[in-house]
Each structure stands twice: as structure tokens, then as C-alpha cells.
Amino acid sequence: MSRINLSRSLPPLAAALFSMTLLVGCGWWGAPSDSKGSTDPMLQTQQKQPMLVIAEHRTARLQALYQLQPQLEQRLGIRLKIVEYPAPPQDYFTKLVTELRAGNAPDVFTVPRDLQVDDLAAAGYLANLTEDVRQWPGYAQLPELVKTLTRASFDEQVYVVPSIVAVEQLYYRHDLLTAAGISTAQPHSWTELLERSREIKQKMQQTPLLIPAGLTWGMGSYTEGFRYLLASFRQYQLLNHQQQYVLDDAAVLQSFAFYQTLVQQQLMPIKPLLNPEPWVIPKYEMFPKGQLLITTCGSWCKVFDWGPGSRNPIANIGEAVQTWKFPSADGGEPFALTSVVYAWAVNAKSRQQQLARKLVLALGETDVALAYAAKLGNVPARLDAKDHPDFIALGSLMQDHALLTQSRAVRTTVGSNAMMAGVAQATEALLTGRVDAAGAQQMLRDYVENVLGEAMVQPLASGHIHQPEQEAP
């Protein structure tokens, strides 16, 4: 039997491996044929163009970007490498933030919600775009509210270029309420909304209203729920002049009391909100089936959640589902809420700063915004979008675009993530009946103070949280 002599055969083997590594490393062996100096002049030109890495996620957004890629590359003379990120917003944001911290994030990416701009900018992850947008004609076309939401609250510098915005309201089943003989008139106050909800429960034996809450809904408990309630107080500002969170205000307590009423009177789907994916049952099952009649949502809902292409389409959705503005809590006019969603940002550590800045401005143009808006069910951020020939393709979203100049927003500052996590915890405690409204307010205050430090929360004027004289709704 022959034996292999290791001491003799190892050196030649190692030498061969080393040579192969060198050959592969130098590109002499195994490299694709097109990289060996192509004679195609077009390919050569393309290869000389600088490449920018751009992060994108979710099928609809990716489709829009792939569709726009050739024209963006041609317009800017660049190559775009699109990196697909996880679809769920929280997973996307976590991956993005960890990469930004590690210093290996893409050149250009989106910030899912305007209230995350402060935290990202304060961490030093975002390039300051103030000078760039000043020279950009598109900036003058943004509504003032949207402009405010592109700036960080701590230095008033612009860090993102908005492309699309979400216009959020209450969506209700017009067809079913009409059939049940329940008024579909716009409710003007919280009390009116609660009375309407009680009537729905009594006459239809169904769950009337969904306002997202709880831990598993994550940041949505704030952005798609609690924020609407806070915005309905015209006099209330979440931040004081020192950029501290104002959490001992009666507006905060009354907002929690509204949840408490919904929970105690079982006007809200409580059990589904405690599920791992709490939006699935109420939004995708109960609302289409008519087991839930009113829900908070944005313009995207008519496209994604219940539109003809969704998994649970509602027949004749244009007629069946209609909107109410959010009722006011203090006698003011009902209002729609605007959020800047998926605004474009430049990585502060990008090696191609100038090109990346050009790219985000190009992504803020109307044609790009319209391509995204049509696919996502959002509306373009720019007011001049209505003059674009493709604007008509938005259909019913055109009405939402018209609300841009009249809508409200709630501005946050650094630490919004703690604020959102605090709201998720406090509303979860309300859902499970562990605390009442005052307890939830205390919980939120304690959490935000614990995480951000005492300096970020407005000190209590009287040493204890403000108790309103009037009863909760």
C-alpha cells in the first residue's frame, strides 16, 4: 500500500496553493471575461463611473427604485448599487443603525420617520445638507410644516431631503355604518368620537375603534396612535423652549385617559393588540370583514392594506372606506396629520459626499416622488407635484395632497426612540389593566427620565404630575 509522505508533499502543495491565490488575487485566472479590459466603449465608460451604494427595502419601494435606476444613473453619471434591506421597518432601522455605528453603512439611505432624524443627526450619522438644499429649487416647493420636519430640533440644520409624505387620518367603513343607520358625519370632538363608537358597539355588536397601542406594535404605538391624540391639543407642545419633553401636562394625561376609556368600555380590540404581530388581526382581518369599523391609518392603507392588490381587498374601496379627520380635543377644527416618511439622507462617513448629496437631491425631484407615491400610496412632499402630468395617476391620493398645507405634526427631539418605547410600555400597561391613565403617565415620565436623564424631561412644577380638573372622556 502506498503512503503519502507529508513532509515531502506539503511544501509543493503549499507553493501551488500560494501561486493560485496570487493568480486569482491579480485577476489572471478565474476572473469574468468582461473584466479583462473590454473593448466595448459603453461598458468601459460605465466602469469608469463612480459607484454609490444605496439602501432600500420593502418590495414596493424596491420596485420603484429599480424602475428609476437607469434614469438616475444617466442623470448623474454614476452607477447605483442597490442593497436590499429587511422589510419590517424596525428590522430595517436596527440594521441601518448598527451599520452606521460600525461605519459600513451605505452612502445613501432613507430615514423611516421624521422623528428619527434628531437621533440619527445627534449621533453624527447624517451629513448636514443645509447648504445643498438652499441651492436646490425643490426646497422652496415644500410646505413649511414639511421643511420643519427635515430639520434637527437641536441645531435647526437640514439633514434629510423629503420625497414623499404620509397624510394620516381616521379611516372608517362608510358602507357598513350607512347600512346600520349610524351617522358618518365628521366627529368634531373626542366625546363625539366615543359616542359614535359606543353606538357602533351597541347597534352592530362589533369592535368600533382601533388606536395602535402596546409593546409589540413598537414605535407604531406612538407614531400611529398616541401622537394623534397629542396633536389634537392645539396649545400643547411636546417640547419646551429648552428642548425638554413636557410629559406632566394634562394633554398627556387626557390622551392616556382616552385609551383607558377605550379599554374599559371594550371599544378597542384588546387581545389582538397583545399578539406578536398586533396589526395583522385588526387591520388585515377585522377591518376588511367589517368586525372593526374605524381605525387610524395613512393614505397607504387604501392601497396596501385593503386595496385591490392586497391580501384582503375591500370591494369598491373608494366608496366603502372613507376618512374623517382627527377630532380635536380642545374645541379646535378637526385635522389631518402629516409625517415625512422615508426621507433621503447621506451617510456622514460616505467617501463620495458630493455625489451622494447630488443623488439625494435628485431623489427629491417630483418625478421620483410620484413614482414612489403611486407605488406606496403616499403623496409627494412637494407642492408643485400637482403641476406634473403624472400627478393625475395618484387618483384619490390627490385629495390627500391637498391637505398638506392645512395639516398638523408633532415635533420631537433627541431621544424620540425612548419616548416611543415609553409610550409602548405605558399603553401596554393600560391594555392589560395594570395601571390607570395617571399611572401610565407616570410610567412614561419615569421611563423617558431613566433613559435620557433628568435634563431631557421638563421638571415637575409642583413636584407631582398635573391632575386635570375635568374628568377623563
Partner 1 sequence: MFKMTFEARRQLGYRLMMTPALLLMAAFIVFPAFYAFSLSLTDDALLGFAAQESSFVGLRNFERLFGDPLFWNSLKVTLIFVIGSAVLGQFVLGFASALMLQRPVKYKSIFNAIICLPNAVPEMVVGFLWISMFASGEYGTLNRMVAWFGVDPQQWLYTFPLLSIIIVNTWRGIAFAMILLTSGLASIPKDIYEAARVDGATDNQIFWRITVPMMMPTIFLYMFISTVTTFAIFGLVYTLSRGGPANSTEILGIYIYNQSFTAFQLGYGAAVAVVSLVVSMVLGMIYVKALKVEV
Whether the Cβ atoms of residue 424 and residue 219 lie closer than 8 Å to each other: yes
Contact (CB, 8 A) for 445 and 246 = no
Per DSSP bridges, beta strands 321-324 and 164-173 are antiparallel
Using the minimum distance from each CB to partner 1, give the nearer residue, 363 or 438.
438
Q: Which of 231, 369, 428, 438 lies at the binding interface for partner 1 (CB under 8 A)?
A: 428
Of residues 398 and 451, the one with the C-beta less far from partner 1: 451
Piece of the chain touching partner 1 by CB under 8 A; list 91-99, 181-189, 252-260, 363-371:
91-99
Q: Is 448 in the site for partner 1 (CB under 8 A)?
A: no
Of 272 and 364, the one with the shorter C-beta distance to partner 1 is 272
Q: To the nearest whole angstrom, how small is the minimum distance from the Cβ of residue 104 to partner 1?
A: 14
CB of 64 to partner 1, least distance (A): 27
Which residues between 222 and 261 bind partner 1 (CB under 8 A)?
none
Q: Cβ(71)–Cβ(80) under 8 Å? A: no
Q: Which residues pair with 239 in a beta bridge?
A: 245
Stretch in the footprint of partner 1 (CB under 8 A) among 38-46, 72-80, 117-125, 316-324: 117-125
- Give dist(CA 141, CA 137) in Å, integer: 7
Dihedral Cα 270, 340, 90, 103, nearest 10 deg? -160
CA separation for the pair 79, 381 (Å, rounded): 26
**Sole binder of partner 1 in the list 53, 54, 381, 421 (CB under 8 A):** 421
Cα 392 to Cα 122, 381, 389, 396, 407, distances in angstroms: 39, 15, 7, 9, 22
Number of residues that bind partner 1 (CB under 8 A): 34
Kindly tell me which residue out of 89, 138, 187, 218 binds partner 1, with binding defined by CB under 8 A.
Answer: 218
Cβ-in-10-Å burial (0-12, 13-18, 19+) of 375 comes to buried
Given the complex with partner 1, which of 124 and 308 has the nearer CB atom? 124
User: Parallel, antiparallel, or unpaired for β 79-85 and 51-57?
Assistant: parallel
Are the CB atoms for 115 and 122 separated by under 8 Å? no
Please select the residue that binds partner 1; options are 145, 274, 383, 435, rule is CB under 8 A.
Answer: 274
Using the rule CB under 8 A, is 99 a contact of partner 1? no
Is residue 321 within 8 Å of 306, Cβ to Cβ?
Answer: yes
Judged by CB under 8 A, the stretch of 9-17, 214-222, 258-266, 306-314 that binds partner 1 is: 214-222
Answer yes or no whether residue 98 interacts with partner 1 by CB under 8 A.
yes
- Read off the DSSP letter of residue 86: P
State which of positions 118-157 bind partner 1 (CB under 8 A).
119-120, 122-125
Nearer to partner 1, 130 or 243 (CB): 243
Is residue 425 involved in binding partner 1 (CB under 8 A)? Answer: yes
Write the interaction track for partner 1 spanning residues 401-420; mark x where CB under 8 A is met and - where it is not: -------------xx-xx--
| Residue choice 75, 81, 271, 311 for contact with partner 1 (CB under 8 A) | 271
**Could you say which of 450, 454, 460, 464 contacts partner 1 (CB under 8 A)?**
450
**In the complex, least distance from residue 266 CB atom to partner 1, rounded to whole angstroms:** 17
Please, what is the minimum distance in Å from the beta carbon of residue 15 to partner 1?
25
For partner 1, the closer of residues 99 and 365 by Cβ is 99
Helix (H) or strand (E) holding 292: strand 292-298
Cβ-proximal residues to 3 (8 Å cutoff; 6+ apart), any chain = none
| Cα–Cα distance measured from residue 304 to residue 57, given in angstroms and rounded to the nearest whole number | 15
**Grid coordinates of 472:** 377623563
| Rounded Cα gap, residues 393 and 44, in angstroms | 38
**For residues 261 and 417, which CB has a smaller minimum distance to partner 1 in the complex?**
417
Asked if 324 and 186 touch (Cβ cutoff 8 Å), the reply is yes
Among 76, 281, 398, 435, binds partner 1 (CB under 8 A): 281
Per the CB < 8 A criterion, the answer to whether 167 and 337 are in contact is yes
Amino acid at residue number 8: R
- Residues lying near partner 1 in the complex (CB under 8 A) are found at 90, 94, 97-98, 101, 119-120, 122-125, 214-216, 218, 271, 274-276, 281, 285, 414-415, 417-418, 421, 425, 428, 431-432, 450-453
